[in-house]
Amino acid sequence: MNTEYGGRAGFSPRIHDPAFAKYLKNSNRWSGMFSGILAIAAVVGFYIYGETSSEMSNPQALYIGFGIGGMFIFVALIQMIGRKTSKTWDGTVIDKTIKKKRRRKSTGSEESDYDWVDYVEYKVIIKSEEGKKHEITAEDDDTLYNYYKVGDRVRHHGGLNSYEKYDKSNDSIIFCAACATLNQIEDDKCHRCKCPLLK
């Protein structure tokens, strides 16, 4: 590891720890199990609805259950394929923005039943070496916005959920590269997923 700046500059070789491969394997397994449970629940629920409801009967209700269940499984497959095909790449933070925004929030069953909700959007824009722009956004939380500075070199590790900073020498916090959970820089492993922190 690069030892300049107290040993916290440089992309960490700890990314090769077997814990990260285990994390990706478990993530895919849980995605598959969760989508399977939702799919079964949808099929069973619509079958029961078709047997007991006067508005819809089987097999029509059952077909809808199969359609929704298939959608859950399809989404899980897309997530798993995305993790498998995701590549590691380097980039640079090129901009940060803060914008006050508002959205409609439903307050009832009618289309006219809604309120306006104000929030602040914090955005960090990263440009990869290939020229593609990536955005990190958060609402009403400036932690990530303050963590990254314009000009920071970062690395996205394939399949994982965060961006590793090259220079962490002045940081008091660090985000887990696997699950993106916030940790203290003195910690050795993520308190949530137990993967090594890249420092």
Query: What is residue 7's predicted lDDT score, i.e. its pLDDT?
Result: 56
Q: Is the pTM of this model over 0.85?
A: no
User: 50: closest CA among 39, 37, 63, 41?
Assistant: 63
Query: What is residue 6's predicted lDDT score, i.e. its pLDDT?
Result: 46
State the angle between helix axes of 60-85 and 18-52 in degrees (0 to 180), rounded to the nearest 10. Answer: 170
pLDDT digits (tens, 9 = 90+) for 27-75: 999 999 999 999 999 999 999 999 998 888 999 999 999 999 999 999 9
Residues 134-151 have a mean pLDDT of: 96
Q: How confident is the model at residue 106 (pLDDT cuts 50, 70, 90)?
A: confident
Report the 10 Å Cβ neighbour count for 11: 18
**Burial class of residue 190, CB neighbours in 10 A (0-12, 13-18, 19+):** buried
For residue 196, say if its preceding peptide bond is cis, omega within 30 degrees of 0: no
Cα–Cα distance measured from residue 21 to residue 11, given in angstroms and rounded to the nearest whole number: 18
Cα–Cα distance measured from residue 139 to residue 136, given in angstroms and rounded to the nearest whole number: 11
pLDDT digits (tens, 9 = 90+) for 2-19: 444 345 789 999 999 999
Distance set, CA 105 to CA 22, 84, 116 (Å): 39, 36, 6
Cα–Cα distance measured from residue 156 to residue 19, given in angstroms and rounded to the nearest whole number: 17
pLDDT digits (tens, 9 = 90+) for 145-196: 999 999 999 999 999 988 999 999 999 999 999 999 999 999 999 999 999 9
Identity of the amino acid at 94: I
User: 9: closest CA among 169, 162, 156?
Assistant: 169
**Predicted confidence (pLDDT) at residue 144 exceeds the cutoff of 50:** yes
